[in-house]
Every structure is written in structure tokens, then in C-alpha cells.
């Protein structure tokens, strides 16, 4: 079928075994601009192909233009309508890119036929630009010689069936010498009247006979003519008088027509029966091979037995010799019933085309084989030439693509696209992006062209790109998903289609968060480093101890973070910590930190940090009181601290909660015992649980018996924390601690000892030989059984009590009798300020200074003393039994070497400055 066609746009028709593309031929009165030989350099080429003339138009000329074709008869340019093309023997094949071939039957209308041997075809091609009104015209004239006519020739072209038959005698001539038949032109006059010669055509179809006079047949699209030697009839496909041959020929579907032609002959009216049959199927496809089956003998056309004289295969209307077929991979074979032509899918003589079926990418391959067979009748020896031009298009085949990934990059590679496919955009989960935008985002989008006429597209997207969806299928496994839709168009039709791609890769590449911690004197300091999932690892939560860190707790623990980590600090006595055990001066506490993914119920990390923190559980106060702290530890989970008491069960905690019980009591109360040793004085008590209502000892099968012994011992002027260490046994033991008995030495303002110099009064200024009054007192103690005894006192020039020179003031509790500045010991009386008389001692000296060779060494002195604290309630021994006696001359040598020095407290006062 001929129709007006923009040759840059070609449609696809599914299940098409043969197709036709043509152009409109329009009458024009424009004069030809030139004639071109068969080797035109303009992109228009013409040549002869047996009983056809072939004209080729290069796509460089046609691309972007609208093509119109005119047939030239002498000086007249004839418009050939689509119906006229099939009626007069013209056809055209054009691929989507504008490569065009026009075929003209040498027996066609408007062909200058000289004695059926020389044929001249004239055509005018007009191309109109779509972008402007400009027109380019090409005139073509091609002369072909063809004399190897068979007795009968049948031509099957895209849009028509043609049969010509040899006539043994020419028609009779008129008296004026003119023939009854015009052998040079078609039997269609400009007015549509028939030229004398052929009278009537009778078409035979199964079950009917349809007669038509010539004019009527021409009006129905048929053509009949008589040349100098031949009778020619032509019929389009699918007319009322054509029909499908029942059951096909050798199972190959065939369309045919049969006609009886009535014409005038010299001997009178003659009738010739003619027929043509053309295949409409017979093609088989597999993945890479096209097999075209043609009946070996077309029985409706042949009478009796025949034999094949010649078989030729061709492409695009042109025969191929054996070497050409071998090079191109074509084969031609015969079976009992068929002639088989085989062609590889993808042969360079054909072309691929892209299609979008249901918006999915498909491709077809089109090739135009030709088959030419020469039969000879065994009976009549008449030959029949059978020529078929049969364009084949494969069914739509899904385009193939391949995708892969490597090196944490989605490498999408989509193959087997044709050159007519262009990538326009890519749709990701976050939006639609053009190719340029994708490249700007760091996604490498490229197209690759290959010599076989195909191309591929590649896209590389890193796993960490925002368009890649990520979720964790396990604590250590990340599932990466790339969902993309490639948006393509097919040129030149601009037909859109989409190619979705979804890739999933699971990698064990998760670096879990890490939890580390350190301790200082009072806190656990915890740091959580996010790992490679960042802070968004499925919104993990942190659990410290038994509690989740909610915003209120986070604020209390001073939680803060940045892009790489977060940290917080937990006091060691927080409710989220656990106490493991205590030792003499510290508590061992533990903090359990858990990183927990509540959505998946995964443990992402944990830390169990235990540290020892300074903790004073027992304090021995100088005023004769004790304080003790009892602590609930892990091994006593059922202990209730409020149930704890001292030996005297009436002595309960002054404070308690679910973890602590605090006691405060005097050393002479709550059942506290006192024991004196050689170098210390020990107070001791016990903490045990009791029922509040019955007073019976508490016990539970879940906990061991709980008992904490608390002790204080005193060493003069020394202080040490008492602590207990709890072990999981029936007898928790407490370590003995020490307390500090404070002894001070002060300078009174006068002999009444009512007021004393304060710290800001030092150095105290005295005149030479002016009395200086000293008091040494045991501070804060309420224990009346204790007695303070002065052992030795002396003066020095320096604050260092061991420095020289020195001067003895009191030796072994007595004044130095050798001292001209006599030391006076003053008693402490009941009416004096001192609460307990035995806790204080008083003495005075006259102010002096050190000299050397009648020169003053310094104007200041310091006074130092050693004191003992003794128990009056036991038998006095050693130093505690001493009373002042006259010291011997050797006593000075032993002043600092006493074996009881461990019982001593050392006190100093000064400086005292000599005035004047």
C-alpha cells in the first residue's frame, strides 16, 4: 500500500510476516532538475534487478524530510495514489532511519517498454523539510534491459501480485497499420476508459465467478495490459476476488487470484486463464535464526509434473551468488516439499528496531530476502519464473540486560539496546533526575556503542548514596537496595518506555557501636562510639543498669554527643550501679551498659565496668562518737537496710534507703565495747539485721547471715578510715579502723588561763624573762577514763622540732632543775574552764633567747612537747605510771629515744618573739 509517509517515523506491527512502507506520489508540473545515472553521487542510486528497477535513497537525504514520489511519463508527471501503486506495480521499503528503496515492475504502468526488452523508468523525488518550506527535487531515469522472460512470470511484491504470460501471436493490425493494443502505455487513459484489445476479466473464487469488463476491473484496483509479446495482470492483496488457498500449499499459507482474460486476437476473441499465488507465511524463528519455507511446487499454478531448473536467493531484490551467501551466512536448501532459506538474526543486510510494548523494551529484526525459482513443465516444456520479495520481521523480543555490583558500588549495566534508544532520566526513591543531574550527583551514567549496532548503558551508584535504601537484617549484616527506573525514548518516534531495576546486596559489613568507660574518684564515664552505621543505627537505645536512658535520666547524667559518639557520666552511688563488695577504704561498684535495638531485639554492644571508689564507711570522731555506713551488695539482694541495728537493737539507723543504712552513736553507748592495747585503744560494735516487730534475728534462705563488725582504735594525732570488707560467708568481718584524738597546745594571755592567743596573734611578742603560759589539752573527747600526760617539752630556734640548738623545758614529766629559767607546772582545778581535768596540763616559762658569744642568734623561739594519752581505769604501767621525780644528768640523752614514743602525740607552738 502506498501512503503519505514521514520516513523518519516507522511504526511497528506485531506478528507481521511481511510489511510495506511507501510514500505518496503527487502530480507536479515542475520541470525535472536533472537526470541521474545508476551511480549518482547525490545519495540517490538506481539499478536493475531482473524484472524490477530498484532505486535507493540514502538516509542522509531523507532524514528529517517528507518524501514525495512522482512517476514520469514523457513530459507528464502522474500522481500515483496508494491504490495506483499496487495497481501499477510500484512498492517501497523504508527503514526507520530513512534508508529507502523503491521497486518498479518493468511491466508496470508509466514504464517506457520497447519490444519487451528495453525499459525506461522515470521518477521524480521531492523532499520537503519539516523545519522550513524548502523543497529539494531529484529526477531519476533508469533504463534496464531484460530479455530472459519465461513463458510465465509471477512476481510477489509487498503490495501486489503480478502474472505475465507469453503471447504467441501479436494482435491484428488496423488497415492504417496501427495495432489494436498500445504496447507502450498502461491501458488506463487519463479519462479512465479502456484501450481496445482486452474486453473482459472473469475472476474465479471458491464458489463464485465474478466477470468484469476492463474498465470495471480497473476501477476495482486491478490492472491488465498487453505488451508486444505478453499479457500482464496485476492484483493488490486482500481484494474481494483474492482468497487464501485452502489448507495452504505444503502447509504454507498462500493468497492467490485466478482470472480468465478475454481479448481480441487476429483470429477472433481469445481467452487466457491466468493465476498468481504468493506466500503470506512460512517463517519460523528461533533465538538467532530465521527459516523461510516456500513450497517446492506451487500446485495451483503448475499443471502436471515440473522440475526445478534454477533456484536463487537474494536480498533487497538483488540476487546473491554462492560466495556472497557464504560470507553473509545464508543457506538455501530443498526438501521434498519445501525450499528453505535460512538467515542469521542480526545479519548486516537487515536492521534491528526498538519497540515499546506495554512500556517494556523489545526489539525486532527486519530483513528482506528474495527467492527466485524457475520451473519447467515436464509435459509442455513451458517454464515458469516465480519471484518473491518477502520482507520478514521477527516477533518482538525482550531486550536483555545485565546487572552486577562490586567494590561497594552498584554497577548497573544494561545491554542489547539499539542505536535508536536514548536514556532520558532515572527515577530513584527520592525523585526523578536527568542524566546530567545524575552525573552531577556523582553517579556515573554512560552509554557505550558497539560495532554490531548495539549500545549499552551503565550506571554506578555507591552503596552510601542517599538513593540507596539500607536496612539491617542482622546485627552485623546490612541489606543495600537500589531501586531505579530507567526512562528511555525510541527515536525517531520519541516512543517512551521504562526499564525498572532493583538490586539487593547483603554484606556483613556492620561495625557495631563500641562502649568504653573509665572511672574517676566518684563517677563512671561512659563513651559510645557509633561505628560505621552512625547515630541512626535503627534508633538504638542505651540501658544503664536496670533502666533505659530516657531524656530525664540523660540530663541527670549529662549525656552529650556529636557526629561520631556520645558520652555520659554516672555517679558510683547511682541507682543504676551495683555494689560488689567493700574493702577497708573503698567500695567496688559496677555499671552495666547495654546497647539495645528494641525494634529487632538485638544486642549491639555491652560493657560491664567495675571500679573501686573511695568510701569511708566508719568514722571515728575525736569527740568520742562513731558513724558507720552499711551497704547492700550484690550477694545480699534481699537485705532491707532499715532492718539493721547495732548490738543494742534500739540503736537503729538515723537514715536508710534501699541501699544504705547510716548509724551515728557515742562510743560509750549501743553496746560498744572498749579494749586497750599497747599502742592503741579499740572501740567495737556490730551491725546485724533484725525484724522490726519481734526483735528476732533476721535470716533468709536466699541470703547468708549478715553481720558487720565496726571498730575504731585511736592513735594519737593520727587519722585513718575504718572500713569493712564483706565476703559471701556466714561471718562478714570488719577491719579495724583508727580515729584521731586531737591534742592542742595554746599560749594563754595570763595565768588565769581564761583566754588564749588566736592564730592571727602569732608571732606572740614577749619581753625577756616575761612569763609565757602554755596549755596542752585533749580536745573533744568525752571519755573520762583517759588522762593526758606531758612527757617532754623543749624550745628551738626553728619550727623543725629536731633542729639545733634546743633547750629542755620539761623532761620525763618534770621541770628541768638545771634551768636558771625555772619551768613552773600549774594545776588544773575543778572550777577551771576544762570539762574533764585529766584531759589538760599547764606550765609556764620565762621568756629567753639563744645566744652565742654574747650575741643573739635570733629573736624567735618555738616550743615543742611530747604527750601521752593513758587509761586511768586500768593498772598504770610504764610511762602512764610516772610522776615527777628529780631527773638525772643522763635524762636529756633519752628525751627523744623513749621506747614508748609510739604512744606519744607531738605538739608545737610558736613562734614567740622577743621584744626589744
Domains and CATH numbers, the chain: 161-278 (no CATH), 282-393 (2.60.40), 399-507 (2.60.40), 514-614 (2.60.40), 618-715 (2.60.40.3210), 742-876+903-914 (2.60.40.4100)
Average pLDDT over residues 885-908: 47
Classify residue 690 by its DSSP letter: B
* Residue recorded with cell 534507703: 657
367 compared with 401, residue with greater pLDDT: 367
Residue 409 pLDDT more than 50?
A: yes
Which of the given ranges, 63-77, 346-360, 680-694, has the highest pLDDT on average? Answer: 346-360
Nearest to 644 by CA among 623, 624, 658, 626: 658
pLDDT in tens, 744-769: 899 999 988 889 998 888 888 888 88
Grid cell at residue 591 = 555499671
Q: How far apart are CA 235 and CA 275, in angstroms?
A: 10
Residue 310 pLDDT more than 80?
A: yes
Grid cell at residue 135 = 523543497
* Residue recorded with cell 592495747: 677
pLDDT confidence bin for 307, thresholds 50/70/90: very high
Residue 106 pLDDT more than 60?
A: yes
Grid cell at residue 50 = 531482473
Q: How far apart are CA 243 and CA 371, in angstroms?
A: 22
pLDDT of residue 131: 64
Say if CB 580 and CB 610 are below 8 A apart.
Answer: yes
Per-residue H/E/C for 58-92 = CHHHHCCEEEEEEEEECCEEECCCHHHHHHHCEEE
pLDDT in tens, 460-470: 999 889 999 98
Which of 360-374, 611-625, 713-727, 806-820 shows the lowest per-residue confidence on average (mean pLDDT)? 713-727
Q: Which backbone phi and psi does 737 adopt, to 5 degrees?
A: -110, 175
Task: Provide, rounded to the nearest whole percent, the portion of the chain with pLDDT above 70.
Answer: 80
Alpha-carbon Rg of the chain, whole angstroms? 63
Residue 174 pLDDT more than 80?
A: no
The residues with which 340 forms a beta bridge, in sequence order, are 293, 333
Say if CB 619 and CB 607 are below 8 A apart.
Answer: no
Q: How far apart are CA 545 and CA 660, in angstroms?
A: 18
Buried/exposed code over 714-748 (b: 16+ C-beta within 10 A; e: otherwise): bbbeeebbbbbbbeeeeebebbbbbbbbbbebbbb
Task: Provide, rounded to the nearest whole percent, the portion of the chain with pLDDT above 90.
Answer: 38
Grid cell at residue 409 = 558500588
Nearest to 631 by CA among 663, 591, 669, 592: 663
Q: How far apart are CA 105 and CA 738, in angstroms?
A: 130
Q: How far apart are CA 277 and CA 295, in angstroms?
A: 11
Q: What is the mean pLDDT of the chain?
A: 80
Which stretches of 583-638 are assigned E, i.e. beta strand? 586-597, 602-614, 618-620, 625-631
82 compared with 29, residue with greater pLDDT: 82
Nearest to 344 by CA among 329, 364, 326, 365: 329
Q: How far apart are CA 203 and CA 243, in angstroms?
A: 11
Contacts of residue 176, defined as CB under 8 A and 6 or more positions apart, other chains included, come to none
Q: How far apart are CA 903 and CA 788, in angstroms?
A: 11
Classify residue 302 by its DSSP letter: -
The residues with which 265 forms a beta bridge, in sequence order, are 268
Contacts of residue 625, defined as CB under 8 A and 6 or more positions apart, other chains included, come to 664, 665, 666, 667
Grid cell at residue 723 = 572500713
* Residue recorded with cell 568507660: 517
pLDDT confidence bin for 888, thresholds 50/70/90: very low
Q: How far apart are CA 843 and CA 377, in angstroms?
A: 166
pTM for this structure?
A: 0.53
DSSP-based three-state secondary structure for 642: helix
Which of 318-322, 641-645, 834-838 shows the lowest per-residue confidence on average (mean pLDDT)? 834-838
pLDDT of residue 704: 55
Q: Which backbone phi and psi does 393 adopt, to 5 degrees?
A: -120, 125
Q: How far apart are CA 775 and CA 909, in angstroms?
A: 10
Q: How far apart are CA 261 and CA 274, in angstroms?
A: 7
Q: How far apart are CA 7 and CA 1, in angstroms?
A: 15
pLDDT of residue 879: 67
Q: How does strand 469-474 pair with strand 477-490?
A: antiparallel
pLDDT confidence bin for 29, thresholds 50/70/90: very low
Torsion sign (Cα): 581, 648, 621, 826: negative
Q: How far apart are CA 47 and CA 73, in angstroms?
A: 19
pLDDT of residue 17: 26
Average pLDDT over residues 401-418: 76
pLDDT in tens, 204-214: 999 899 999 99
Q: How far apart are CA 20 and CA 25, in angstroms?
A: 15
Residue 392 pLDDT more than 90?
A: yes
Residue 902 pLDDT more than 50?
A: no
Grid cell at residue 125 = 523525488
Say if CB 23 and CB 91 are below 8 A apart.
Answer: no
Q: How far apart are CA 651 and CA 665, in angstroms?
A: 8
Q: How far apart are CA 901 and CA 911, in angstroms?
A: 25
User: Using CB atoms within 10 A of its CB, is residue 853 exposed (0-12), middle (13-18) or buried (19+)?
Assistant: exposed
Contacts of residue 659, defined as CB under 8 A and 6 or more positions apart, other chains included, come to 573, 575, 579, 631, 632, 641
Which of the given ranges, 154-163, 296-305, 410-419, 663-672, has the highest pLDDT on average? Answer: 154-163
pLDDT in tens, 540-572: 667 777 788 888 888 889 999 888 899 999 999
Determine how many CB atoms are found less than 10 A away from the CB of residue 770: 11
Say if CB 92 and CB 101 are below 8 A apart.
Answer: yes
Average pLDDT over residues 696-704: 49
User: Using CB atoms within 10 A of its CB, is residue 111 exposed (0-12), middle (13-18) or buried (19+)?
Assistant: buried
Grid cell at residue 863 = 616550743
Say if CB 382 and CB 376 are below 8 A apart.
Answer: yes
pLDDT confidence bin for 422, thresholds 50/70/90: very high
Say if CB 341 and CB 329 are below 8 A apart.
Answer: no
Residue 731 pLDDT more than 90?
A: no
Contacts of residue 478, defined as CB under 8 A and 6 or more positions apart, other chains included, come to 470, 471, 472, 506, 507, 509, 510, 533
Amino acid at each position: 500500500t502506498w501512503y503519505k509517509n514521514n520516513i523518519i517515523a516507522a511504526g511497528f506491527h506485531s506478528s507481521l510476516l511481511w510489511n510495506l512502507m511507501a510514500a505518496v506520489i503527487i502530480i507536479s508540473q515542475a520541470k525535472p532538475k536533472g537526470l541521474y545515472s545508476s551511480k549518482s553521487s547525490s545519495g540517490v542510486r538506481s539499478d536493475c534487478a531482473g524484472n524490477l528497477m530498484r532505486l535507493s535513497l540514502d538516509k542522509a537525504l531523507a532524514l528529517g524530510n517528507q518524501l514525495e514520489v512522482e512517476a514520469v511519463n514523457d513530459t507528464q508527471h502522474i500522481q500515483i495514489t496508494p491504490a495506483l501503486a499496487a495497481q501499477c506495480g510500484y512498492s517501497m521499503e523504508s527503514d526507520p532511519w530513512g534508508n529507502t528503496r523503491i521497486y518498479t515492475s518493468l511491466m508496470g504502468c508509466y514504464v517506457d517498454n520497447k519490444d519487451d526488452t528495453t525499459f525506461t523508468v522515470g521518477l521524480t523525488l521531492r523532499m520537503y523539510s519539516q523545519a522550513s518550506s524548502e523543497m529539494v527535487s531529484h529526477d531519476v531515469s533508469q533504463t534496464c534491459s531484460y530479455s530472459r522472460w519465461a513463458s510465465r512470470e509471477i512476481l510477489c511484491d509487498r503490495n501486489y501480485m503480478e502474472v505475465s504470460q507469453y503471447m504467441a501471436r501479436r494482435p491484428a493490425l488496423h488497415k492504417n497499420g496501427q495495432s489494436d493494443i498500445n504496447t507502450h502505455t498502461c491501458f488506463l487513459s487519463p479519462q479512465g476508459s479502456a484501450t481496445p484489445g482486452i474486453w473482459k476479466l472473469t475472476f474465479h473464487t471458491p464458489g463464485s465467478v465474478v466477470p468484469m469488463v476492463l474498465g470495471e476491473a480497473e476501477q476495482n484496483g486491478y490492472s491488465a495490459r498487453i505488451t508486444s509479446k505478453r499479457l500482464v495482470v496485476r492484483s493488490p492483496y486482500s481484494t474481494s476476488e483474492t482468497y487464501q488457498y485452502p489448507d495452504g500449499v505444503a502447509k504454507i499459507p498462500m493468497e492467490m487470484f485466478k482470472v480468465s482474460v478475454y481479448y481480441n486476437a487476429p483470429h477472433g476473441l481469445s481467452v487466457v486463464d491466468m493465476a498468481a499465488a504468493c506466500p503470506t507465511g512460512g517463517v519460523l524463528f528461533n533465538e538467532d535464526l530465521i527459516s523461510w519455507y516456500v513450497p517446492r511446487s506451487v500446485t495451483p499454478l503448475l499443471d502436471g509434473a515440473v522440475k526445478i531448473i534454477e533456484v536463487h536467493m537474494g536480498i533487497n531484490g538483488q540476487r546473491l551468488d554462492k560466495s556472497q551467501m557464504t560470507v553473509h551466512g545464508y543457506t538455501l536448501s530443498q526438501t521434498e516439499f519445501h525450499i528453505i532459506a535460512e538467515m542469521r538474526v542480526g545479519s548486516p543486510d537487515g536492521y534491528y528496531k526498538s519497540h515499546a510494548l506495554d512500556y517494556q523494551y523489545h526489539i525486532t529484526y527486519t530483513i528482506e530476502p528474495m527467492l527466485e525459482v524457475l520451473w519447467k513443465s515436464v509435459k509442455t516444456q513451458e517454464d515458469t519464473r516465480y519471484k518473491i520479495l518477502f520482507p520478514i520481521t521477527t516477533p518482538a523480543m525482550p531486550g536483555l540486560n545485565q546487572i552486577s555490583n562490586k567494590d561497594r558500588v552498584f554497577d548497573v549495566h544494561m545491554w542489547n539496546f539499539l542505536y535508536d534508544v536514548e536514556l532520558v532520566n532515572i527515577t530513584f526513591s527520592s525523585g526523578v533526575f536527568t542524566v546530567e543531574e545524575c552525573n552531577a550527583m556523582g553517579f556515573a551514567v554512560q552509554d557505550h556503542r558497539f560495532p554490531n549496532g548495539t549500545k549499552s548503558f551503565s550506571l554506578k551508584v555507591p552503596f552510601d548514596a542517599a538513593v540507596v535504601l539500607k536496612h539491617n537484617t542482622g546485627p552485623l549484616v546490612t541489606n543495600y537496595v537500589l531501586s531505579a527506573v530507567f526512562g528511555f525514548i525510541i527515536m525517531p518516534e520519541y516512543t517512551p518506555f521504562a526499564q525498572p531495576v532493583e538490586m539487593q546486596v547483603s554484606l556483613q559489613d556492620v561495625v557495631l557501636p563500641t562502649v568504653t568507660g573509665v572511672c574517676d574518684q566518684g563517677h563512671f564515664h561512659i563513651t559510645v562510639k557509633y561505628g560505621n552505621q552512625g547515630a541512626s543505627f535503627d534508633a538504638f537505645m542505651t540501658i544503664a543498669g536496670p533502666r533505659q536512658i530516657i531524656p530525664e535520666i540523660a540530663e541527670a547524667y549529662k549525656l552529650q554527643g556529636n557526629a561520631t559518639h556520645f558520652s555520659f557520666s554516672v555517679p558510683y552511688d547511682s541507682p543504676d550501679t551495683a555494689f560488689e563488695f567493700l574493702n577497708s577504704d573503698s567500695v567496688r561498684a559496677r555499671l552495666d551498659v547495654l546497647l539495645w535495638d528494641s525494634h529487632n531485639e538485638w544486642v549491639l554492644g555491652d560493657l560491664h565496668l567495675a571500679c573501686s571508689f573511695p568510701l569511708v564507711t566508719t568514722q571515728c570522731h575525736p569527740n568520742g562518737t562513731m558513724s558507720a555506713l552499711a551497704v547492700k551488695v550484690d550477694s545480699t539482694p534481699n537485705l532491707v537496710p532499715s532492718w539493721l541495728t547495732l548490738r543494742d537493737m534500739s540503736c537503729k539507723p538515723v537514715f536508710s534507703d534501699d541501699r544504705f543504712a547510716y548509724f551515728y552513736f557515742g562510743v560509750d553507748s549501743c553496746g560498744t565495747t572498749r579494749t586497750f592495747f599497747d599502742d592503741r585503744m579499740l572501740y567495737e560494735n556490730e551491725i546485724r539485721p533484725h525484724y522490726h516487730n519481734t526483735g528476732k534475728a533476721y535470716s533468709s534462705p536466699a541470703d547468708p547471715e549478715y553481720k558487720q563488725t565496726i571498730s575504731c582504735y585511736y592513735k594519737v594525732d593520727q587519722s585513718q578510715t575504718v572500713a569493712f570488707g564483706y565476703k559471701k560467708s556466714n561471718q562478714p568481718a570488719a577491719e579495724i579502723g583508727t580515729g584521731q584524738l586531737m591534742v592542742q597546745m595554746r599560749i594563754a594571755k595570763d595565768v588565769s588561763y581564761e583566754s588564749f592567743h588566736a592564730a592571727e596573734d602569732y608571732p606572740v611578742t614577749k619581753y625577756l624573762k616575761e612569763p609565757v603560759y602554755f596549755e596542752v589539752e585533749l580536745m573533744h573527747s568525752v571519755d573520762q577514763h583517759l588522762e593526758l600526760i606531758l612527757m617532754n617539752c623543749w624550745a628551738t630556734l626553728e619550727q623543725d622540732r629536731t633542729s639545733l640548738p634546743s633547750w629542755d623545758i620539761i623532761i620525763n614529766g618534770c621541770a628541768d632543775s638545771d634551768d636558771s629559767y625555772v619551768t613552773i607546772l600549774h594545776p588544773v582545778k575543778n572550777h577551771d574552764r576544762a570539762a574533764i581535768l585529766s584531759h589538760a596540763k599547764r606550765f609556764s616559762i620565762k621568756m629567753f633567747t639563744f645566744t652565742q658569744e654574747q650575741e643573739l642568734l635570733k629573736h624567735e623561739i618555738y616550743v615543742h612537747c611530747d604527750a601521752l594519752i593513758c587509761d586511768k581505769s586500768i593498772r598504770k604501767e610504764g610511762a602512764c605510771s610516772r610522776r615527777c621525780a628529780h631527773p638525772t644528768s643522763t635524762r636529756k640523752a633519752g628525751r627523744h629515744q623513749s621506747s614508748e614514743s609510739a604512744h606519744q602525740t607531738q605538739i608545737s607552738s610558736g613562734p614567740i618573739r622577743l621584744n626589744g
